Structure 1
Amino acid sequence: MDTRRLGYFVRVVDIGNITRAAESLHITQSALSQHISGLESEFKTRLLERTGRGVAVTGPGRSLYRYAQGILRLEKAARIDLRNGTGSPAGLVTVGLASYSMASGAAIPLLRVVRERYPDIQLQLIQNLTVVMSQAVLLGQVDMALIYDPGHVKGVVFERVLEEDFHLITSARAPRVPARGDEVTLKQAATLDFLLPSEVHTVRRITDAAFHAAGLHCSIAAEIEPSMVLRDAVVNGLGATILPLSAARTYFAPDEVRAYRFSDAHMRTGMSLCTSEVQPLSEAADLVAQVLRGLLAEVQDGAARGYRSSDTVS
């Protein structure tokens, strides 16, 4: 299989237009079309459909796109590893990070420690993927992923590294929620409008399940996927949200929001390090995983020391 053709195919799917993809690749449109036709002949199936606006990927094309990302990543990792002549750990290590979690907050510390200890390891940190993170690990698109634990998924292993309770997060500019100390009830929270991710996200599913079990309605003002958009919307008082406290500490400055525990709901989640069950980690990836475990242990210790959540996120 010609990996160059796979790279061309991935670029066309990403851009959605053969002409613009050819320009970005610095080849002619006819040459790029021939490469795509060659792939379709090799796999004996149509991968792209031409439309008035460009191209649309077919079902088989989407499958090839996912596998191609993993293949191209492994090829890049091999080139980096083989070019290294220092004898120190080297290679490309890709880490997936769950949105609306403390995983984003671990990114900079992880990058800093890896750069200090293992300068020949190249990190690739990814948050938004076209498939769920566990499937990305399964397909070889990422080496590991720090995600909300979804339960059993065939082919991958989940190592629980952190457990937290969800908190109600409101803007410091908004009126205080009537509360007993740092605790609120679901009924009190149900009077608010919420900004949450879509129904497929773990944060949303846990929230919806808790309100439903209490016979209450969770009023959704807006579904927001980009986490920084949600951050700005909450800070500006456009709605409340629900997050683990460590995630709130990641997204918000201490004086921007207030955090409240739920006194009558068990809204708890676990973060897990997801790796392949069949493909062992490379030396470089294993070292990165060890660093990540150490950073998460510090986060867990910090959470265990307590806080005064109803004042601000601190």
Structure 2
Amino acid sequence: MDTRRLGYFVRVVDTGNITRAAESLHITQPALSQHISALEADFKTRLLERTGRGVEATDSGRSLYRYAQGILRLEKAARIDLCDRTDSPAGLVTVGLASYSMASSLAVPLLRIVRERYPNTQLQLIQNLTVVMSQALLLGQVDMALIYDPGYVKGVVVEKVLEEDFHLITSTKTRPMAVCGDGVTLKDASRLDFILPSEVHTVRRITDAAFHAAGLHYSVVAEIEPSMVLRDAVVGGLGATVLPLSAARTYFAPEEVRAYRFADARMRTGMSLCTSEVQPLSDAAKLVADVLRGLMTDVQPDGGRLRTADETIS
């Protein structure tokens, strides 16, 4: 298989338009169309279909797209590794980071340490993927992933590194919540409008489960995946959200929000460093994993600069 054609196919899917893809690849549109046709002939299935706005992947095309990302990443990693034969560890290392988690706060420190210690190692940090991170490991799209504990996943090694409680996060522009003991009750929280990620996200699933177990309904007025959009919406007082404190510290300044413990619910999950059981880590990836573990030991889940309800409400 010509991996160059896979790269062309991925670019077409990403842009959703053959003309724009051809321009970005610096080839003619007819030549690009021929490459796509050759792929479809090779796999004996249609990979793209035309729409009013351009093209989009068929079901088969979406499957190939996922595998193509892993194949292209491995090819790039091999080229970097084989072209650099210095004493310093070299290669491409791709790390998946769970959105709406403390993983985001480790991205810059991880990059800084790797640049200082292993300058020939190229880091690729990914937060948004078309598949969940555990599947991305199996597809070869990432070397490792720092994610909410996925439970048992065949073919994935799960190393639990941290546990955190979720907190209710509200804007300081809204009225303070009534505190019961050292937190707020689910019943009081259920009267708020919520802004959360989609139902497939761990944060949302844990929040849904807690309110369901208490026999309560709560209103989700918006589902938002880009974390900075959620940040601005919560700060602007458009709704409350639920996050671990470490993630809230990453997204919000202390004066922007209040963080409340839940007095009558244990909303808790673990963070895990996950790797493939089948595909061994390269030497460079092993070193990056060690750096991540070191950074995790410095995380204080219940400390930090963001104040909780008992500190912000008299």
TM-score range, shorter chain: over 0.9
The equivalent of 2:211 in structure 1 is: 211
Task: For residue 209 of structure 1, report the CA deviation from its aligned partner.
Answer: 0.7
Q: Which residue of 2 aligns with 1:49?
A: 49
Q: TM-score, normalised by structure 1?
A: 0.95
The SS at the match of 1:303 is coil
What's 1:155 paired with?
155
CA deviations 1:21-77 (Å, max 9, x no partner) are 111111111111111111111112111123343222111111111111011101111
Q: CA deviation at 1:304?
A: 5.5
Q: Which amino acid aligns with 1:281?
A: L
Query: Which ranges in structure 1 are unaligned for 5 or more consecutive residues?
Result: none
> Residues 258 and 32 from structure 1, CA distance in 2 versus in 1: closer, same or farther, beyond 3 angstroms?
same
Give unmatched runs, 5+ long, in structure 2.
none
Tell me which amino acid in the other structure corresponds to 1:38: A
Measure the CA separation in 1 of the matches of 2:133 and 2:265. 28
Aligned to 1:288: 288
- Structure 2 distance, partners of 1:190, 1:138, is 38
Aligned length: 310
Q: Is contact 1:22-1:32 (8 Å) kept?
A: yes
Question: What amino acid maps onto 1:268 in structure 2?
Answer: R
Measure, in 1, the Cα distance between the counterparts of 2:304 and 2:255. Answer: 18
Counterpart Cα distance in 2 of 1:74 and 1:149 = 25
SS in structure 2 of the partner of residue 146 of structure 1: strand
* Percent of paired sites with the same residue: 81
Paired letter, 2:82: L
Letter of the 2:67 partner, please give it: Y
> Retained in 1: the 8 A contact 2:182–2:263?
no
- Residue 85 of structure 1: how far off its partner (Å): 3.4
> What residue identity is the alignment partner of 1:154?
K
- 2:110 corresponds to which residue? 110
CA distance in 2, matches of 1:51, 1:180: 55
Measured against aligned partners, the alpha-carbon deviations of 1:159-188 in whole angstroms (never above 9, x if no partner) come to: 111101110111122211010454111111
Q: CA deviation at 1:220?
A: 1.2
Which residue of 2 is the match for residue 33 of structure 1? 33
Q: How does 1:84-233 map to 2 (within 5 A)?
A: 84-180=84-180, 182-233=182-233
Counterpart Cα distance in 2 of 1:122 and 1:67: 22
Q: Is the 8 A contact 2:81 2:92 kept in 1?
A: yes
Given that 1:195 and 1:222 are in contact with CA atoms closer than 8 Å, whether structure 2 keeps it comes out as yes
- Residues 188-224 of structure 1 deviation map (CA, whole Å, 9 limit, x = unaligned): 1112111111111111111011011111111112111
Letter aligned with residue 164 of structure 1: E
Q: How does 1:261-276 map to 2 (within 5 A)?
A: 261-276=261-276
- Could you say what secondary structure the match of 2:301 adopts? helix
User: Using the alignment, how far apart are the partners of 2:89 and 2:143 within structure 1?
Assistant: 16
The question of whether the paired residues in 2 share the 8 Å contact of 1:95 and 1:142 is answered with yes
2-side partners of 1:222 and 1:181: how far apart? 30
Q: Following TM superposition, where does structure 1 have runs of at least 4 consecutive aligned residues deviating by more than 3 angstroms?
A: 304-308
Q: Does the Cα contact within 8 Å between 1:22 and 1:28 map onto a contact in 2?
A: yes
Amino acid at match of 2:127: Q
2:218 & 2:62 partners in 1: Cα distance?
A: 35
Q: Deviations over 1:85-137 (max 9, x none)?
A: 32210100001111111111110111111111111110000111111111111
Partner of 1:309: 308
| Shift in Å, 1:303 | 2.7
CA distance in 1 between counterparts of 2:23 and 2:304 reads: 55
Query: Secondary structure of the equivalent of 1:183?
Result: coil
Q: Distance in 2 between matches of 1:185 and 1:293?
A: 35
Structure 1 distance, partners of 2:223, 2:64, is 30
Whole-Å Cα distance in 2 between the matches of residues 212 and 54 of structure 1?
42
- Once the 2 structures are TM-superposed, how far is the Cα of residue 244 of structure 1 from its aligned partner? 0.7
Alpha-carbon distance between aligned partners in 1 of 2:94 and 2:172, rounded to the nearest angstrom: 37
Describe the SS at the equivalent of 2:173: coil
Secondary structure of 1:184's match?
coil
> TM-score, normalized by length of structure 2?
0.95
What is the CA RMSD across the aligned residues, in angstroms?
1.4
**Would you say the 8 A contact 1:182–1:309 is kept in 2?**
no
User: Does the aligned pair in 2 maintain the 1:115–1:121 contact within 8 Å?
Assistant: yes
Contact 1:97 1:147 (8 Å CA) reproduced: yes
What is the alpha-carbon distance in structure 2 between the residues aligned to residue 306 and residue 76 of structure 1? 39
* Distance of 1:199 and 1:179 partners within structure 2: 28
Aligned positions of 1:4-83 closer than 5 A: 4-83=4-83
